[in-house]
Amino acid sequence: MLIPTTKEAPSDATLISHKLLVRAGFIQSSGGSGLYNLLPLGKIVLDRVRAVIKEELDRAGCQEVHLPIVTPISLWDETGRSNKFGDELLRFRDRHKNQFVLSPTNEEAMVNLVRQSLKSYKQLPINVYQINWKFRDEIRPRFGLMRAREFLMKDAYSFHSSREDMVREFELMEETYKRIFRRLGLDFRVVEADSGAIGGSGSKEFMILADSGEDTIMVCESCEFGANVEVLSEENSTCPECGSNLKRTKGIEVGHIFQLGTIYSKPMRAEFLNQNQKLEPFIMGTYGIGVSRIIPATIEQNHDEAGCIWTDETAPFRVDIIVAKPKDGRQMEVAEEIYSGLREAGVSVILDDRADKRYGFGVKIKDFELIGFNYAIVVGKDIESGKVELIRRDGLKREKIEIADILERVR
């Protein structure tokens, strides 16, 4: 498997996640500023995160679609955002001189999809989403995947016949997002936020708590209340929900939900026939998650001096089997039996059978610690007494266990 681990971190890396993801062989620079190749381990983690997001959205009744990353600029002209969005909007012309953009977000394109498809209040509400690559021509891309120019984003858009129904869906998406981030094993807060360039009358951000976060937030010490300092004065030290103390902390934004109203549907003349057979614009909500950003954010929150510590849902493999002496036929035989047994039981497992003298036992342990698989099973001389060593990556706790008990313990 292609896992090019290294002792050296990129010279431009300042965040620990950027350093570790490169050193552990998850990502590599593609040569362009803010552009990265996802190597096999990185792609596995991304797919795991994507799967959790899709499962929860589908459970909530959302429907997945796929839009081109290339969008005609004429759609952006309809809302006036082609001028407002600035230089982050990468524009180009095709051979026929038609002008397009590489989509940084897809409000206009999704409104265009729905206005061609839905005509009556009887077809509402609907929530459609995609998990697709976006591009923003950042003036100063930095921090690895945290602020890359190309990124994977989940963007969902709901369409309603009333504001009350849009608020209902907004609240459903808030609960759905909470389930997503809980399943991913992340410590997060939902904070009242500024709607910024997307617009709308109300929005909430989902912040992964980490000392390296760019956003300063105020969180309650007793309840779940949180607010961005943009919408809550830093001098306000009392929680408006329960009256307890507020404390200042840092967060990494990984999700944002907006109550849009008609801010996009009205200028784009995206309308439906209401119960009185009169045309009115769709009332909308929009809901985004930075899928690829969750990868570095997870490591910013979960790491130690030795390397990455992935959560149960995000680890590229749950178990790393390390053979102390690969040239020992019996050790390899036992290791392969354990490997096959775990795979058949549906446990994601990788077997480190490197036998080259450059990859001694110490190197394999260091790679396990750097990469951050949930567990290592060391197959060594203890097999003579029917045992192996189990190492839990979080805390690096070690214990000897019976080979017959491996599956039960890992589960």
Q: How many CB atoms lie within 10 A of CB 230?
A: 14
Same domain assignment for residues 110 and 206: yes
What pLDDT shows up at residue 360?
A: 92
Instruction: Name beta bridge partners: 5.
Output: none
**Which amino acid makes up residue 277?**
Q
Tokens representing residue 37 in the block: 């190749």
Same domain assignment for residues 265 and 380: no
What pLDDT shows up at residue 240?
A: 87
Same domain assignment for residues 173 and 76: yes
**Which amino acid makes up residue 210?**
A
Same domain assignment for residues 296 and 341: no
Given 248, 277, 304, the domain boundary residue is 304
From CA 35, how far away is CA 209, in angstroms rounded? 25
Q: What CATH number corresponds to the domain at position 87?
A: 3.30.930.10
> What residues of the chain score a pLDDT lower than 70?
194-201, 233-235
Report if residue 310 sits inside a domain.
Answer: no
Report if residue 9 sits inside a domain.
Answer: no
Report if residue 282 sits inside a domain.
Answer: yes
Tokens representing residue 121 in the block: 């209040």
Same domain assignment for residues 121 and 64: yes
Q: How many CB atoms lie within 10 A of CB 194?
A: 11
Same domain assignment for residues 36 and 150: yes
Report if residue 5 sits inside a domain.
Answer: no
What pLDDT shows up at residue 55?
A: 98
Tokens representing residue 336 in the block: 């392969």
Q: What CATH number corresponds to the domain at position 380?
A: 3.40.50.800
Same domain assignment for residues 233 and 112: yes
Same domain assignment for residues 213 and 159: yes
Same domain assignment for residues 375 and 233: no
What pLDDT shows up at residue 235?
A: 63
What pLDDT shows up at residue 200?
A: 57
The DSSP symbol for 15 reads S
Same domain assignment for residues 128 and 237: yes
The upper half-sphere exposure of residue 278, i.e. CA atoms within 13 Å in the direction of its Cβ, equals 2
What pLDDT shows up at residue 197?
A: 53
Given 304, 335, 354, the domain boundary residue is 304
Given 270, 304, 338, the domain boundary residue is 304
Residues of 372-404 as b/e, b for ≥16 C-beta within 10 angstroms?
A: bbbbbbbbbeebeeebbbbbebeeeeeeebebe
Tally of structural domains, the chain = 2
Cα three-residue angle 257-21-15, rounded to 5 degrees = 70
What pLDDT shows up at residue 199?
A: 55
Report if residue 22 sits inside a domain.
Answer: yes
Backbone angles phi, psi at 72, to 5 degrees: -60, 135
For residue 344, the enclosing domain spans 319-410
What pLDDT shows up at residue 193?
A: 80
Same domain assignment for residues 239 and 324: no
Same domain assignment for residues 242 and 346: no
Report if residue 48 sits inside a domain.
Answer: yes
From CA 371, how far away is CA 316, in angstroms rounded? 9
